[in-house]
Amino acid sequence: MVEVPAEHVVLHDRGSWSTREVEVQAFVLAAVPVTQGLYRAVTGRRVEAQGAGGREPVTEVSWFDALHFCDLLSLAHGLIPCYGTSGAGPGDERARGRPAGTPGGGDPDGADLRGDPGADGYRLPTEAEWEHACRAGSTGVRYGDLDTIAWCRKNSGGRPHQVGCREPNAWGLHDMIGNVWEWCWDLYDPRVYGPYRVFRGGGWNDHHWGCRASSRRKSHPTLRIDDLGFRVARSL
């Protein structure tokens, strides 16, 4: 986990040509996306694997799956779950040691899920946290030369690669751009897209214009696809 400093962040949405300002508090973020091996160890679920070593980023995971993983990992480390997908409400001390429940409590859009800002467990980063961490103080399109920092359509050979093999950004975070897109907590635009959630960063099958610090896409929280994963954060 890498500590990310507090910052006043301005987010730009090229689709709507709008900006919004967000105060990001200091937090910690995993240096690499969650791997197939870690996901299997925490959840007991084997996902479709394209590599043999387990160090490839986990894909074919929904937004619900990502939240459920965060809660199980929190329980494994003796922390308070943020989302309550493991049998109790967000931040409920009684969640410790309970068996896993159904993510979202049965709501197909996840409207019943709330994050507890006071919980000390693992969680998804917000969109503002993700972009701030990705940029690591830089202001350009991306934090380095695309060929050296990212797996994308030009160099990936049509598949994801083991995490941490490309050069990190200035704060030691790998694969923030390319390899796999990463789920964030936020709704994309509820007025237009309803429950669709944000994912960021570009993936192994994207052209250079999709692999930017500001790249953002969205889908329903049940989406599972072969170039979309996630990484975990914790509040300080």
For the segment 191-230, what is each residue's pLDDT rounded down to a tens digit? 999 999 999 999 999 999 999 999 999 999 999 999 999 9
pLDDT band at 108 (very low <50, low <70, confident <90, very high): confident
Q: What's the pLDDT score for residue 101?
A: 37
The beta-strand segments (E) located in 25-153 are 27-29
pLDDT value of residue 114 = 83
Q: What is the pLDDT of residue 10?
A: 85
Q: How many CB atoms lie within 10 A of CB 117?
A: 11
- What is the DSSP secondary-structure string of 191-213? HHHTT-EEEES--TT--GGGSST
- Of 122, 118, 119, 72, nearest to 98 by C-alpha is 72
Quote the CA–CA distance of 55 and 180 in Å, as a whole number.
13
How does residue 104 score in pLDDT terms, banded at 50, 70 and 90? very low
Instruction: Kindly state the average pLDDT of the residues 121-150.
Output: 95
* Residues forming a β-bridge with 154: none
Q: What is the pLDDT of residue 3?
A: 97
**Residues 6 or more apart in contact with residue 34 via CB below 8 angstroms:** 57, 58, 66, 69, 229, 230, 231, 232
